[in-house]
Amino acid sequence: MSRVEPDLTRWTVEELVGQVVMVGFPGRTVPAALEEALRAGRMGNVILFTRNIGTPQELAALNGALQGAALASPHRVPLLIAADQEGGSVTRLWHGATRFPGNMALGAAADPDLAYRVGRAMGRELAAVGITLDLAPVLDVNNNPANPVIGVRSFGEDPERVAELGAAWLRGLQSAGVAACAKHFPGHGDTAVDSHLALPVVPHDRVRLEAVELRPFRRAVEAGAFSVMTAHVHFPAVEPEPGRPATLSRRVLQGLLREDLGFQGVLITDCLEMKAIAGGVGTVEGAVQALDAGADLILVSHTWELQQAAVDALRTAVERGRIPRRRVEEAAGRVLALKERIGLLSGGAPVAERLEPHPERVGLAEARSVAEEAGRRAVTVVCGAEHLPLDPALAPRTLVVEVSDAPRGNAEDPVPARASLAEALARRLPGVEARRLAPAEVDGACPELTARAREAAQVVVAVRNAVRSEPQRRLVQELAGAAPNLVGVALLSPYDVPLFPQVKTWVATYSDQPASVEAAAQVLAGWLQATGRPPVRLTAV
């Protein structure tokens, strides 16, 4: 059996560069150009998005085809196949997979054992379909309510809680044989700018960074995180050069993460097509600067031409001496060591059993039970507990209004279908009038719904990220004027709650995955006592 040569000095520069690049692609089959690059060893790792993922059987077949191409490369090295399967609002596996509540729901439950079991259950499903690297957990401390990209992806605003739950979650994931990736180092929580669109700045001094932003990452390193993802965020207290993001900063990557925190695993960039990089030095130059600064795995998620150009630029930078060859050998060595660590390689040889898919292990009752427990234990009555549960005798005079979709953040893929609170509540309180509206229908339906609310004995409104949706805000305000005892349900961002001080009763779920929506319906109907607590302070944004 062919083995990976332990002496990387005998690898070509092109082969080394292939191991330090991760690329994405469109569709649910392997494009011919990508297959050729994998077979040649020019590219050695892949990231998947919802656009690539069908049923568990289809995903397993796709990953089998990807690995088959990689095993035809000169050194027969399997791929790291990655996905952002965070749970909650950033979920890539939908069809047939268990849909887990996300981090802020786990923050509301505040149980490290539950976080561990969610991570383990998720890891087992990922491993079963051939995903070997989960770009999760998010360890950003969300202490800025105006943060446009983290929000419910965070475990909360308390650094210790984020550290404890994040470490437990990643241990659970890695116990299933899937590498975790702590992100976004050194912290993307206290920003009001989305790095997909521009370069955020975290202006705090080192004392504050140590107390807040860095605490979860220190704990993750201590817990054995196999990889860490960089943030396209500028930290002047660590990197004095104006406008230099952490991803491109040797002071952050080598000085802070490697030397100070002692991290020895794989350091992955966030996607270099994001505007914080692409709008500055550019994606291709960013790839060169990131590797030179200390990154081990360069992520270019979407555009084939940029992926090819980045590979060419990295090879040229090494061949011309801009980046020392030993730097790319070091990075490739770490990636290969990770592949050994998660069982893709043994003694340098590919492990056939590890590459065997088991899609029948996805969506099992055990995983669903863990997801349902997370949903139940997260649901929170934020205020107005005295007005709950709803009176079943008044079900025929109860109006339930739900907005069926949410404004998407840039890290979120399109959602095939969202669970319906209106339908879940109608099953528990037969006779209620359930109205589910697409966002575009809200304004047109508002006058009729307001009139119906005036006649109803009980009114419930369920919103999804109203903090980013003017029509949803208008809907709640109109219903609150018509129904003084209006009950609000925040199905995603809990920061929706303080927008409406006139609404005296609020339930928060932090996720609109099925388990969370079902739990909210149970609380409203009196079938479940809510025990969750808000993991963030609910002040107006």
DSSP code at position 232: S
Is the dihedral angle over the CA atoms 423, 519, 367, 91 positive or is it negative? positive
- Over range 488-500, report the average pLDDT: 96
The pLDDT value given to residue 4: 45
- Give the pLDDT of residue 192: 67
Among 75, 196, 232, 234, the one annotated catalytic? 196
Choice among 141-155, 223-237, 249-263, 315-329 with the minimum mean pLDDT: 141-155
Tell me the pLDDT tens digit for each residue of 172-214: 999 999 999 999 999 888 776 666 777 888 889 999 999 999 9
Whole-angstrom distance, CA of residue 454 vs CA of residue 459: 9
Residues 444-457: tens digit of each pLDDT: 999 999 999 999 99
* Tens-digit pLDDT profile for residues 336-392: 999 999 999 988 788 888 899 999 999 999 999 999 999 999 999 999 999 999 999
**pLDDT confidence band for 5 (50 / 70 / 90):** very low
Mean pLDDT of 222-239: 95
**Residue the block writes with tokens 């528990």:** 428
| 10-63 pLDDT tens trace | 999 999 999 999 999 999 999 999 999 999 999 999 999 999 999 999 999 999
Q: Residues near 138 by Cβ (< 8 Å), separated by ≥ 6?
A: 86, 103, 150, 153, 154, 155, 166, 183, 184
Would you give the distance in Å from CA 46 to the centre of its chain? 17
Helix (H), strand (E) at residue 112: helix 112-128
CB 401 within 8 Å of CB 461: yes
Would you call 270 a catalytic residue per the annotation?
yes
Q: Provide the pLDDT confidence category of residue 1 given band limits of 50, 70 and 90.
A: very low
C-alpha–C-alpha distance, residues 235 and 248, integer Å: 11
User: Is 232 tagged catalytic?
Assistant: no
Q: Where are the beta strands (DSSP E) in 76-226?
A: 80-83, 133-134, 179-185
The domains found in the chain, sorted by start residue, are: 26-354 (3.20.20.300), 379-525 (3.40.50.1700)
Q: What's the pTM?
A: 0.95
Q: Residues 276-286: pLDDT tens digits? A: 999 999 999 99
Which of 111, 158, 270, 292 is an active site residue? 270
259 CB-near residues (< 8 Å, 6+ apart): none
Task: Point out the least confidently predicted range of 131-140, 197-206, 324-333, 458-467.
Answer: 197-206
